[in-house]
Chain A
Amino acid sequence: MNQQDKAQNIEIGSKWQSLKKYTPARVALGRTGNAIPVKEMLQLKVAHAFAKDAVYAAMDVHLIEQSLQQLNFPVLSVCSKAVNRKMYIQRPDLGRQLDDASCIMLQQNSKGFDVGLIIADGLSATAIQLHSFPFIQQIVPLLQKAGLTIAPIVIASQARVAIGDTIGSILQCKVSVVLIGERPGLSVCDSMGIYTTYQPAMGLTDESRNCISNIHAKGLDDYTAAQKTFLLIQNSIAFKLSGVHLKENADIINLQ
């Protein structure tokens, strides 16, 4: 190998490493034989451990209530029919339904609103603990400025996305907005997703919703997420629909 080749090859090694600059993905791990070298292999294991622990973490409802009280908003705490984490994981149908006491409590607040904001633990209470309040702080002023009425904020434990259909329909909201902990991955265990649904009602499925995902420190920030959600809400009310037929093109038209 001549000097010039050698120089180029060293460059390739360091250039391969430099791929890490562009993505949080696990690139340029090197290899030993066909395997991932030990340090990176163990990094993957510890990430898996973080994710497992996030799945089993419990949402601190009291702490979220305290934060929301700063906004002088009524807050209602409800539970799904899944009474614990193990049942929640194996029975998503129960996580979509409100327990009876919660139904009765919500019915007393049922008077019709433009927007219902629902905070649900989903599969990562860690995500909700970190991102739900900052997001609410961003979106509430946008909604108020637009003259939209907001229902009491609901905090739902052991909850799936579709619990927002029941909650939104009892509170008679035009649009429900569910903030939910997304299932933890190996890089991120605290990612929040947002689902908007026009005229929430029991029995709707995913094609009726719009989704904004990946809200976390290394993903979408709270401010941008609130802006996007606000546009989805406005478009849903204007076009009287949500889901696959409300493409994001509509957002662009509105922005211009």
Chain B
Amino acid sequence: MAYRCTIRNNNYVFEDLKTVLAKASPMRSGDVMAGIAASSYEERVAAQMALADIPLIDFIQTDIIDYDSDEVTRLIMDNYDKLVFQQLSHHTVGSFRDWLLSEAANTETLTSIAKGLVPEIVAAVSKIMRNQDLITVAQNCEVVSRFRTTIGLKGHLSTRLQPNHPFDDEKGIMASIIDGLLLGNGDAVIGINPATDNPEKVAHLLMLLDELRIQFKIPMQSCVLSHVTTTLQLIEQKAPVDLVFQSIAGTQKANASFGISLSLLKEAYEAAISLNRNSASNQIMYFETGQGAALSSNANEGVDQQTCEARAYAVARHFNPFLVNSVVGFIGPEYLYDGKQIIRAGLEDHFCGKLMGLPMGMDVCCTSHAESDQDDMDSLLTLLSVAGCNFFMGVPGADDIMLHYQSTSFHDALYARKITNKKPAPEFASWLYQEGITDTEGLLLPTNELKTILLNSTL
């Protein structure tokens, strides 16, 4: 079905839903590369005007990617909560945007509608929202996840401590972990990206993290971000797997290029649950996503990258994750060219994830070949802190020496907590105090007053 809009006697006709979505998307290099972006500023606004008038029900009645050939579409259409959607079905995309910004949309109502939303609706509404709208609504959402720490409570801000090392040297990794813990980081997870996917090596790293946790009684989760097939193999060998990690995307073909399928994720979820390591909830999955993932494997099926990204959140949601984050600037400037595009995408991803009910964090980051720098990262970090992002990355000096990109530092997390008056996860904050790292107010003690024995006995 075609959608239309007329501006200054220019008649714009958009042949179907995915065309309107693509042309209404704020400008980004990936959609230009895919040949689906609006060709002028006017056409983009025309698409946004057309989009604002589309009834939400159209997104239920139309599969933007074919139901029979794509298992992600089947997952979406078979699993959204139809009763909840009924309450929203009178809206157009435009009136839904206005409702989201109204007083009626408080934390409770936003929580209650999450399961009724399909990702295409969430992506659509984000395209006609300004940055401040994305922040306002996301800030109203509260998505809490529980393992040994509680992540996502209002007034709290957590980090994934990311202690990567170019060849997985255990002492090198441990040095970065201690540095991060002493700076109050690591309450979401201590998560290592291994340099190789060698199962034996990954098992060693998991053991290292688990021993650290037990020795110092740290309320923490650990994860080695290996491919899900490697993790499955390690679970069979009874390795201490807290969280199953996997990169995911929003189309079946893109997931295939990651070497995964929904049934494989289900198998991994069930295997990890059987280890019984999380006594607080069934949340044991950790997913990473990012705009451009589908296009990078030629698997976007003509759909714009931000809508593909929202579809990945439907995949994540199905497995009740403990953590999800977009790696917004990681995939590169061919998808998000500069600081402006990265900042916009970061706010969209956080908003879409939260509105769909995900415990959303963000890797505020860029690569060295993007037109952006640490000032842009500071801007996005600040905006997302205000928006209530559950967690950021903590990388020593913001410099990941294994993955070769700029993320956020341990110090950045301290800054973000300070300016938004937030604390680490409650269990972790207590540990920092007991360990002699912070004072009674939760502030870091000066180095010469630290009482911790972490430095004495780990290296």
A interface list, Cβ under 8 A from B = 9-10, 12-13, 15-16, 18-31, 34-36, 40, 44-45, 47-48, 51-52, 54-55, 89-93, 123, 182-189, 191, 203, 205-207, 213-214, 218-220, 243-244, 247-249, 252
Q: Which of B344-388 contact A (CB under 8 A)?
A: 367-369, 373-374
Q: How far is the CA of A28 from the CA of B178 in the complex (A)?
A: 10
Question: Do residues A15 and B405 form an inter-chain contact, with CB atoms below 8 A?
Answer: no
Taking CB atoms, residues of chain B closer than 8 Å to A248 are 196-199
* B406-443 to A contact mask, C-beta < 8 Å, 1/0: 10010100110010000000000000000000000000
Question: Do residues A9 and B448 form an inter-chain contact, with CB atoms below 8 A?
Answer: yes
Q: How far is the CA of A213 from the CA of B230 in the complex (A)?
A: 19
Taking CB atoms, residues of chain B closer than 8 Å to A40 are 397
B257 in contact (CB, < 8 A) = yes
Question: Do residues A183 and B404 form an inter-chain contact, with CB atoms below 8 A?
Answer: yes
Taking CB atoms, residues of chain A closer than 8 Å to B256 are 207
B179 in contact (CB, < 8 A) = yes
Question: Do residues A186 and B257 form an inter-chain contact, with CB atoms below 8 A?
Answer: no
B83 in contact (CB, < 8 A) = no
Nearest Cβ in chain A — how far from B304, in angstroms?
17
Question: Do residues A48 and B411 form an inter-chain contact, with CB atoms below 8 A?
Answer: no
Nearest Cβ in chain B — how far from A37, in angstroms?
10
Question: Do residues B166 and A27 form an inter-chain contact, with CB atoms below 8 A?
Answer: no
Question: Do residues B297 and A205 form an inter-chain contact, with CB atoms below 8 A?
Answer: yes
Q: How far is the CA of A171 from the CA of B353 in the complex (A)?
A: 46
Q: How far is the CA of A52 from the CA of B366 in the complex (A)?
A: 12
Question: Do residues A205 and B298 form an inter-chain contact, with CB atoms below 8 A?
Answer: yes
Taking CB atoms, residues of chain B closer than 8 Å to A205 are 257, 297-298
B interface list, Cβ under 8 A from A = 29, 33, 163-167, 169, 171-176, 178-179, 182-183, 195-200, 227, 229-230, 256-259, 296-298, 332-334, 337, 367-369, 373-374, 395-406, 409, 411, 414-415, 418, 444, 447-450, 452, 455-456, 459
Taking CB atoms, residues of chain B closer than 8 Å to A51 are 368
Sample (28) of A-B pairs whose CB atoms are under 8 Å apart: A15-B455, A16-B182, A20-B175, A22-B171, A22-B174, A23-B169, A23-B175, A24-B172, A25-B397, A29-B411, A34-B414, A34-B418, A36-B411, A55-B369, A91-B33, A182-B404, A183-B368, A183-B369, A185-B368, A185-B404, A186-B401, A186-B406, A187-B399, A206-B257, A214-B195, A247-B199, A248-B197, A249-B199
Taking CB atoms, residues of chain B closer than 8 Å to A52 are 368-369
Q: How far is the CA of A27 from the CA of B163 in the complex (A)?
A: 10
Going nearest first, the 8 A-B pairs with the smallest beta carbon separation are: A26-B397, A185-B404, A51-B368, A23-B172, A34-B414, A22-B175, A186-B399, A27-B179
Q: How far is the CA of A187 from the CA of B166 in the complex (A)?
A: 11
Residue of A nearest to B201 (CB): A248
Which of A24, A27, A220, A243 has the most chain B CB within a 10 Å cutoff?
A27
Q: How far is the CA of A18 from the CA of B175 in the complex (A)?
A: 9
Taking CB atoms, residues of chain A closer than 8 Å to B227 are 244
Taking CB atoms, residues of chain A closer than 8 Å to B396 are 23, 25-27, 29
Question: Do residues A36 and B409 form an inter-chain contact, with CB atoms below 8 A?
Answer: yes
Q: How far is the CA of A183 from the CA of B332 in the complex (A)?
A: 10
Question: Do residues A10 and B406 form an inter-chain contact, with CB atoms below 8 A?
Answer: no
Nearest Cβ in chain B — how far from A47, in angstroms?
7
Question: Do residues B447 and A12 form an inter-chain contact, with CB atoms below 8 A?
Answer: yes
Residue of B nearest to A21 (CB): B175
